[in-house]
Amino acid sequence: MIRARRAILIVVVAVHAIVLAAPWLVPYDPAAQQRLLAFAPPSRVHAIDAQGRWHLRPFVCAIEPSTAIPFRYTEDCSRRYFVRWLVRRTTAAGFTTRESLRLFSVDEPGEMFLFGTDEFGRDVFSRVLVGARISLVMSISAVCLSLALGVVLGSLAGYMGGTVDAIVSGATELVLALPWLYLLLAARAAMPLSLTPTEAFVIIMALLGAIGWARPARLVRAVVASARANDYVTAARTAGASTPHVLRRHLLPQLPVVLVPLALQLVPQFILGETTLSLFGLGVPEPAPSWGTLLASAQRPQVLVEAWWLLAPVVGLVGICVMYYTLARTLRSGPLVSRL
């Protein structure tokens, strides 16, 4: 069981490291467009050429657009482009160009689209990986904000009791009774739509954090109210210890046992919330990629049939949710959280 927990933790750390390093790992700028290669299918990486010879360095074949049928491509393996590591690629930046270091790419003028391209010829693999970075950073930041609000309000309610407890508990029940997804959509729709990606990122993160504080607050309030009756807390208060000292020394150290699993459950919920906003055009706007905006381009039935690779973000969403919920369940069922 302990090995299983460690394995899950290693997977989680590895996934987050890959996502955080996404701008360096992806072969293309996620905003770079190649209109002549729109809806190009995923590139096939070869290790054996047409003559049956093995190559230590994998390669891709040149792709040629069909002149008869739109968005149809054929491979021309008479032109091979080998995969290279730590490559400097020239990308467009407005009216200028810039060089950036990539983990891997192919010899120019070859192209390697691991997950194909979208309707503008943008590399889906690069957009999915960078979009995961945006969604994860936003969700984890929102969870930190929710936990901060929940710990402050829940601690005050559980420790002070009386009117403060009644007000905080009433507000908590009210927030929990509201459909948070519809509330999130309404709050975001009431704000200006013409926002920069950075402004939209901060606003959505703040909205998610403001809506998600109720569950941590209720949990913290229950833990603090239960621990307040312990003899050592009563002795500290009788000895004249201040409220911040009692909370910091005797009550707050008990919170990680219950807050860590809850935080791990909130992260995928916030990711789905941010994805839903972007799916309806209320999330982080272009040119910043987001899983929701990627899925928005795959809503048309024709696209789903002819460009199935645009559903790649679904695999990422399912994987992230399963990963976080599995980690939360294993932490809740074992002693690992108590060591934090």
The confidence score (pLDDT) of residue 1 equals 61
The confidence score (pLDDT) of residue 291 equals 87
- Tallying the residues shown for the chain, one arrives at 340
- The answer to whether residue 28 is domain-embedded is no
- The answer to whether residue 304 is domain-embedded is yes
One domain for residues 145 and 102: no
Structural domain boundaries, residue 176: 127-339
230-260 confidence digits (pLDDT tens) = 777 778 877 877 777 787 787 888 888 889 9
The confidence score (pLDDT) of residue 206 equals 92
CATH number for the domain harbouring residue 159: 1.10.3720.10
- The answer to whether residue 11 is domain-embedded is no
- The answer to whether residue 3 is domain-embedded is no
**In the listed set 88, 112, 136, which residue is the last one of a domain according to the structure?**
112
**How many C-beta neighbours within 10 Å does residue 98 have?**
11
Contact yes or no for 118/287 (Cβ under 8 A): no
- The answer to whether residue 32 is domain-embedded is no
One domain for residues 104 and 131: no
One domain for residues 282 and 158: yes
One domain for residues 190 and 297: yes
One domain for residues 105 and 137: no
One domain for residues 291 and 240: yes
Please count the structural domains in the chain. 2
- The answer to whether residue 22 is domain-embedded is no
Could you tell me the mean pLDDT of each successive run of 10 residues in the chain, 340 residues long? Answer: 78 90 88 88 88 86 84 86 82 58 83 91 92 92 95 90 91 88 84 85 91 92 85 79 78 85 92 88 84 82 82 91 89 54
pTM of the model: 0.84
One domain for residues 101 and 135: no
- The answer to whether residue 86 is domain-embedded is yes
- What is the C-alpha to C-alpha distance for residues 253 and 248, in angstroms, rounded to an integer? 7
What beta strand segments (E) does the chain contain? 46-48, 54-65, 73-93, 96-106
The confidence score (pLDDT) of residue 338 equals 42
The confidence score (pLDDT) of residue 336 equals 43
The confidence score (pLDDT) of residue 169 equals 92
CA distances from 222 to 94, 144, 241 (A): 54, 20, 22
The confidence score (pLDDT) of residue 339 equals 44
One domain for residues 107 and 141: no
